Structure 1
Amino acid sequence: MASFFHIVLLLLLSITYSSADNPTEYCNPNTVISSSSQISANIDHLLADIITKFLQGDTFVEASYGNNKDTIYGLAQCRGDLSSKDCLDCIQDAAKQVRKLCPTQSDARIWYDYCFLRHSQDKFFGNVDTFPGILYKNTENVTNPVMFNKELGNIFDKIDSKAVKPSSGGLGKDQKKLTNFETLYALVQCTRDLSPLSCGQCLAQAIQNFEGFCSNSIGCRVLYSSCYVRYELYPFFFPLEGQNSKNKGHYTRKLVPNHH
């Protein structure tokens, strides 16, 4: 049976996904394993199992494989506005790339614009995890910070309240016309293993970065293992409503230290 799942994984990972952006990965340096260990084989089996469930139409999967200390836990989720086909494509590539980029780590996470996948020896389901925090900000600043930050606060209050509702799947998104030439687009999403309270806690911590690292920037993304927040002055979520994305500009990256 193990060989069957290994074959499934190899076949599915031969598919290449054309992502809108390059993946962001975190390979925990404290969880190095040998490629010949049982844990490594369990990761392969787990990823094959996750992909099989997405092939069946799932858009969120929690799974585990192994016994006792060799057990590997995994979670994969697509952004809530994504089609099922694009979701499957993204997860397939995430599973492929996480093994390529983090081949010897039992704890690894990978983020795309459209999906997220992680595996670990720790049973993390249901726990708020804000480590690592990976931040991206646009290097261009807004021209009217007072007005912009007021509208930014308003729109995130609105979409946060959507995301914590059990029926939302952890997703909240909206847009606000600022001027005749500018529209603010914002999106938040929690992983669906979180309770509404835990989702709200994760989003609140992520949004705090807007006043620090992302202060007055025209675009910002905060990537946590339990939630994701983003705003831009161009459309980046579906439906795009026929609008063309403007020049996205340049972004700088920051890795937030462990808060634990």
Structure 2
Amino acid sequence: MVAIGSSRLLFFLFCALVHVVTFTISQPDFFYHLCLSENGNYTTNSPYQANLNSVLSSISSNSEINYGFYNLSAGQGSDKVNAIALCRKDINLDVCRSCVNDSISKLTQLCPYRKESIGWYDNCMLRYSNRDIFHIMDAETSHRYYLCNPNNVSSLDQFNQVLENLLDGLRSKAASGGSLVKFAVGYASAPDFKTLYALVQCTPDLSELECNDCLVSVTGGFFKRCDGKEGVRVVSPSCILRFETFRFYDPAIVDELEPPSSPPSLLSPPPPLLSNNTTIEGNGGNISRTVIIVIVVTAAVLMILTISICIFFRKRNLKEKIIEIIHHCLAPFVKESLQFDIGTIRAATENFSEAKKLGQGGFGAVYKVPKSFDFLEGWQNLVTKL
């Protein structure tokens, strides 16, 4: 009998231990919870308790809702119970339902007989009350909780600018969501080669304006409490917000809001054109140079055209005019007057022979000289007798 009694006792203790371990594993502690006393308590076996059990049971057993938002009510008057359960959009449906069931067991255990209570896990929230909570933003700041990352940022102004821009985009996207989902995640490049990840979500029964106002309010709250921190988690009855320098959500389940493309860099103004007098700074100081642009192609075309005209028009008076034009065209290319001794010129023109004479210009008679007399390199050699 003693052996049998001892065996039964050991078996009972083993079962109790398994039950405790299982209960502990399946129902972890809330991230944060509130047992509110403003609306009073209910008593055992009261109509309010019956309505609360009915609502929570309906949420737990509901298999039709597949978007992670439950809002149910039961009862009438002061015994009416309104309940909301909300899962993060980036978790799958099985994890969502498991989280909600854990919340139901945990919240009634932590807040016995309270008519209004709220509990938050990482993946879901459960809330019930005897007052109206549907389509109403809870603006009570005492119902919010802020958890700051212990790590500080090194470039505060730049970090906050990136954070504000990211949250502005996410807030707009979440608030404009439909009546089933108001949720957004995204990322952006942060200072010190880090990436900033953020998540925002509202209960989808809120209007676009109410969702926006809720997220604006909690954003202002964490800038007061956690400014300069690498991460913040904020929970409230109507919206949640989180950002970190590591990815804490599943991008495979939700669409990330990608960072805006970098604005095109401004083009540098074109360098100033070189003026005729350009100052170049070098080792020897400032050197002033006169930039002379000679359009060789244009000059060559001009000469070819002139020669062609001479060949085409063989009249002497026209040739004389052309020779005068050539003389004036050549003058700008010669910096100084070319002067030679009379003996050289006589030899070149065969003593001013009429056979060498091309014509009469405004400066006197013009003579052609052989190419062996290289008076002006690159041009036909001409001599004018003044």
With the shorter chain as reference, the TM-score category is 0.7 to 0.9
Counterpart code for 1:190: C
Structure 1, residues 108-137: CA drift from partner, whole Å, max 9, x if none? 011111111100000110111033111111
Cα contact 2:186–2:198 (8 A) shared by 1: yes
* C-alpha displacement of 1:37: 2.2
1:139 maps to which residue? 150
* Alignment match of 1:210 (pick from 201, 219, 222): 222
Between the two structures, name the one with larger relative contact order (CA 8 Å, sep ≥ 6): 1
Higher mean displacement: 20-29 or 225-234? 20-29
Secondary structure of 1:64's partner? Answer: strand
1:98 maps to which residue? 107
1:128 maps to which residue? 137
Identity among equivalent positions (%) equals 31
* Alignment match of 2:49 (pick from 40, 47, 50): 40
Cα contact 1:20–1:113 (8 A) shared by 2: no
2:3 maps to which residue? none
Secondary structure of 1:61's partner? Answer: strand
Secondary structure of 2:62's partner? Answer: helix
* Alignment match of 2:234 (pick from 222, 226, 230): 222
Cα contact 1:171–1:190 (8 A) shared by 2: yes
Asked whether 1:112 is paired with 2:124, we answer no
2: CA distance, partners of 1:214 / 1:119: 29
1: CA distance, partners of 2:59 / 2:23: 15
Structure 1, residues 25-73: CA drift from partner, whole Å, max 9, x if none? 1100232222332212221111001112256535111100112210100
Secondary structure of 1:199's partner? Answer: helix
Q: TM-score, length-normalised on structure 1?
A: 0.81
Structure 1, residues 196-237: CA drift from partner, whole Å, max 9, x if none? 111011111011023200111111112110001111112111
* Unmatched segments (≥5 aa) in structure 2: 1-21, 254-386
Cα contact 1:26–1:109 (8 A) shared by 2: yes
Residues 238 and 212 (structure 1 numbering): CA distance in 2 closer, same or farther, change over 3 Å?
A: same
Aligned residues: 228
Structure 1, residues 9-28: CA drift from partner, whole Å, max 9, x if none? xxxxx987758974311100
Counterpart code for 2:53: D
Cα contact 1:55–1:88 (8 A) shared by 2: no
* C-alpha displacement of 1:177: 2.6
Secondary structure of 2:115's partner? Answer: coil
Superposition RMSD on alpha carbons, in Å?
2.3
Q: TM-score, length-normalised on structure 2?
A: 0.55
Q: Which has the larger radius of gyration?
A: 2
- Structure-to-structure mapping, 1:84-95, within 5 angstroms: 84-95=93-104
